């Protein structure tokens, strides 16, 4: 996985409650057998009109938000299915960080596996960032994972919390499976003791 470095990017305001994974990437795009190429379908049903043309009212179709790297979103973002296609599609569009008050568990977890950073802040902080993002002249926000800090366009800073292990994996671009394989002996002895105790397992 690519290392997650400090970056400055355009933040798009997208304050809708309970955005589900069907909304992020509808089912007709789940038949892919690849991880890439889903960016043009992200938020498909909101983003395109029935005739396939872009819906000018949708935020990611508007300048400068069509080049967004950050989304400021409503509560309980990513609820619904376990489809990793949701973070793949967001990442493929160019999103590297999503900021909300809360995320659905599976989506939250899947995001880290793909170098997409979900940040949880308080409602007041999220609302302030929404206001920042709404300023089309200056919607750029800086994300510093190392120092756990969001830097606002007005120079203000918002600190955020993150699980230290997940932080390390993102910063160093670590591969989970490789890390787990370091515990190979422990896994083997666990399996052995388990099959003595409960042989049918």
Partner 1 sequence: MSKTLYDKIWQSHLINEQDDGTSLIYIDRHLVHEVTSPQAFEGLRLSNRKVNSPKRTLAVADHNVPTLDRELGIKEEDSRIQVEELDKNVEEFQIPYFNMNDTRQGIVHVIGPEQGFTQPGMTIVCGDSHTATHGAFGSLAFGIGTSEVEHVLATQTLIQKKAMNMLINITGNLDKIVTSKDLILYIIGKIGTAGGTGCVIEYSGNALRDMSMESRMTICNMSIEAGARAGMIAPDDITFNYLYEKPMVPKNEDWDKAVNWWKTLPSDSGAKFDKIVDIDATKVTQTITWGTSPEEIVSIDGTVPNPDKISDEVKQNKIKRSIEYMGLTPGQKISDVEINTVFIGSCTNSRIEDIRSAAEIIKGKKVSTNVKALVVPGSGLVKKQAEEEGLDVIFKHAGFEWREPGCSMCLAMNSDKLNEGDRCASTSNRNFEGRQGKGGRTHLVSPEIAAASAITGKLTDPRNVT
Nearer to partner 1 (CB atom), residue 155 or residue 199: 199
| Angle between helical axes of 164-172 and 105-112 (0-180°, round to 10) | 40
14-43 footprint of partner 1 as x/- string (CB under 8 A): -xxxx-x-xx--xxx-xxxxxx--------
Q: How far apart are CA 3 and CA 11, in angstroms?
A: 21
Instruction: Determine the interface stretch with partner 1 among 58-66, 79-87, 89-97, 142-150 (rule: CB under 8 A).
Output: 79-87
Q: How far apart are CA 108 and CA 128, in angstroms?
A: 22
101-140 footprint of partner 1 as x/- string (CB under 8 A): -x-xxx--xx--xx--------------------------
Interacting positions 142-201 with partner 1 (CB under 8 A): 163-165, 176-177, 179-181, 183, 186-187, 190-191, 194, 198-201
Burial pattern 146-160, b for ≥16 Cβ within 10 A else e, equals eeeebbbbeeeebeb
Nearer to partner 1 (CB atom), residue 64 or residue 76: 76
Among 2, 6, 54, 82, binds partner 1 (CB under 8 A): 82
How many chain residues bind partner 1 (CB under 8 A)?
A: 53
Nearer to partner 1 (CB atom), residue 31 or residue 53: 31
Nearer to partner 1 (CB atom), residue 6 or residue 32: 32
C-alpha to C-alpha distances, 61 to 11, 68, 93, nearest whole angstrom:
13, 10, 12
Backbone angles phi, psi at 155, to 5 degrees: 90, -10
Q: How far apart are CA 88 and CA 95, in angstroms?
A: 10
Q: How far apart are CA 22 and CA 26, in angstroms?
A: 5
Question: Among 107, 112, 101, 100, which residue's Cα sits nearest to residue 79?
Answer: 107
Nearer to partner 1 (CB atom), residue 64 or residue 120: 120
Neighbours of 24 (CB within 10 A): 25
CB of 153 to partner 1, least distance (A): 23
- Contact residues for partner 1 (CB under 8 A)? 15-18, 20, 22-23, 26-28, 30-35, 45, 74-76, 79-84, 87, 102, 104-106, 109-110, 113-114, 163-165, 176-177, 179-181, 183, 186-187, 190-191, 194, 198-201
């Amino acid at each position: 996985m690519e290392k997650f470095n400090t970056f400055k990017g355009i933040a798009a305001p997208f304050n809708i409650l309970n955005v589900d994974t069907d909304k992020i990437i509808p089912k007709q795009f789940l038949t892919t057998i690849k991880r890439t190429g889903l960016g043009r379908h992200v938020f498909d049903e909101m983003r395109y009109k029935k005739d396939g043309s872009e819906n000018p009212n949708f935020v990611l179709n508007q300048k400068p938000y069509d080049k967004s790297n950050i989304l400021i979103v409503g509560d309980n973002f990513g609820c619904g299915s376990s489809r990793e296609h949701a973070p793949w599609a967001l990442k493929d569009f160019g999103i590297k960080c999503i900021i909300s008050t809360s995320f659905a568990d599976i989506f939250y977890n899947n995001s880290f596996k793909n170098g997409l950073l979900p940040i949880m802040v308080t409602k007041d902080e999220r609302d302030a960032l929404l206001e920042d993002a709404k300023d089309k002249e200056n919607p750029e926000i800086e994300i510093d994972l190392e120092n756990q800090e969001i830097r606002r366009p007005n120079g203000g800073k918002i600190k955020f919390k993150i699980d230290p292990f997940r932080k390390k994996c993102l910063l160093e671009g670590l591969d989970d499976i490789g890390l787990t394989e370091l515990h190979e002996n422990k896994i083997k002895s666990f399996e052995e003791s388990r099959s003595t105790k409960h042989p049918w397992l």
